[in-house]
């Protein structure tokens, strides 16, 4: 009997992951919410709504029924982060407790402030959990352009085994043991990308965007370490790598949203005109609340939150950021809270 993998989520990244797996000669069962997506994949071997123009392997079979995923050797979870809890509740009766779950969604749950592996600890508590994240635009990955990512699991033997199954000439996963850092990087980078887009849309220039990215990575490290992650993970593919891609490319949904905000559109106008989910919008709120609870100083991420949710004036927020008290650039590794030493 051949090994079958499951993918939960028929969007662009879920479809790209299914294609990666199928190119390794594994059968893939893909669950998708939209009936049109299911029909497209099964009849035309293409996801015309979310990944148009990419021919898909005939090893990929789609369904809108979660029971279809029963018996899969490994599940890749790729729904929007705010739907992870509901979907995994539905999945639980159909999935063996020995089946590894690979979190591929990027965000923090709004209602609880939990990362995705913490949500799974409540909804599917007995299954082993891994996390996959990195600089991975779906269309490039699906088309076979060179892509690297981090696959993290506390059980590195399990991560190594899955990496060996997935790796090939166009997809190279690296092994890590820092699930928190892997998932936090993927969440925070979307907020930073909105900020980078605002900077561009407002016409502040490339100097400002570079500063936004660099200091944003400092904020990512603060919140990640406060939650138990390693600084090395922030410096790697799931942190810096994903930030660079998402903040520097016009293909980024979060950055393009920020550009439109910077040009004067309201958040509602932007959201009403889009069919894709910009994870950074929800994450900006949940990240702000998490930083407040943990007393972590994140001025850039807070500015993005205030622009999105408080109607803050962009120019006023930039002036406030530029006139904050002077401080050292490199913080002591253990000093991640608001009593950071100031320059006299």
**Identified catalytic residue from 24, 106, 158, 189:** 189
Residue 36's CB is within 10 A of a number of other CB atoms, namely: 12
Examine the residue annotation and report whether 189 is marked as an active-site residue of this protein. Answer: yes
Radius of gyration over alpha carbons of the chain, in Å?
Answer: 20
Q: What is the SS3 string spanning the chain?
A: CCCEEEEECCCHHHHHHHHHHHHCCCEEEEECCCHHHHHHHHHHCCECCCECCCCCCCCEEEECCHHHHCCCCEEEECCCHHHHHHHHHHHHHHCCCCCCEEECCCCECCCCCCEHHHHHHHHCCCCCEEEEECCCCHHHHHCCCCEEEEEECCCHHHHHHHHHHHCCCCEEEEEECCHHHHHHHHHHHHHHHHHHHHHHHHCCCHHHHHHHHHHHHHHHHHHHHHCCCCHHHHCCHHHHHHHHHHHHCCCCHHHHHHHHHHCCCCHHHHHHCCCCCCHHHHHHHHHHHHHHHHCECCHHHHHHHHHHHCCCCHHHHHHHHHCCCCECCCCCCCCCECCCCECC
Q: Would you say 1 and 20 are in contact if contact means Cβ atoms under 8 Å apart?
A: no
CA 1 to chain centre: 34
Backbone angles phi, psi at 313, to 5 degrees: -75, 130
Tally of CB atoms within 10 A around 292? 12
Give catalytic residues, as residue numbers: 189
């Amino acid at each position: 009997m051949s090994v079958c993998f499951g993918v939960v989520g028929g969007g662009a990244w879920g479809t790209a992951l299914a294609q990666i797996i199928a190119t390794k000669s594994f059968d893939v069962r893909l669950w998708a919410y939209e009936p049109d997506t299911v029909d497209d994949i099964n009849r035309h071997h293409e996801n015309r709504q979310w990944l148009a123009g990419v021919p898909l392997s005939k090893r990929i079979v789609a369904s809108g029924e979660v029971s279809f995923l029963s018996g899969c050797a490994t599940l890749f979870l790729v729904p929007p982060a705010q739907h992870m809890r509901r979907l995994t509740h539905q999945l639980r009766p159909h999935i063996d407790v020995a089946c590894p779950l690979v979190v591929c969604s990027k965000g923090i749950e709004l209602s609880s402030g939990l990362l995705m592996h913490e949500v799974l600890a409540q909804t599917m508590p007995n299954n082993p959990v891994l996390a996959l994240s990195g600089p991975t635009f779906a269309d490039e990955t699906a088309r076979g352009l060179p892509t690297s990512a981090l696959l993290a699991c506390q059980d590195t033997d399990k991560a190594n085994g899955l990496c060996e199954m997935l790796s090939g000439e166009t997809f190279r996963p690296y092994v890590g043991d820092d699930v928190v850092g892997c998932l936090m990087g993927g969440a925070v980078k979307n907020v930073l990308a909105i900020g980078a887009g605002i900077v561009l849309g407002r016409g502040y220039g490339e100097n400002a965007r570079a500063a936004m990215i660099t200091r944003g990575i400092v904020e990512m490290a603060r919140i990640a370490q406060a939650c138990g992650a390693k600084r090395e993970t922030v410096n790697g593919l799931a942190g810096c790598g994903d930030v660079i891609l998402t903040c520097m490319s016009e293909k980024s949904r979060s950055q393009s949203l920020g550009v439109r905000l910077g040009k004067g559109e309201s958040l509602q106008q932007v959201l009403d005109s889009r069919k894709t989910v910009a994870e950074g919008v929800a994450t900006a709120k949940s990240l702000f609340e998490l930083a407040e609870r943990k007393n972590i100083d994140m001025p850039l991420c807070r500015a993005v939150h205030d622009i999105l949710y408080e109607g803050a004036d962009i120019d006023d927020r930039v002036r406030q950021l530029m006139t904050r008290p002077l401080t050292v650039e490199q913080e002591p590794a253990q000093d991640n809270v608001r009593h950071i030493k100031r320059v006299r």
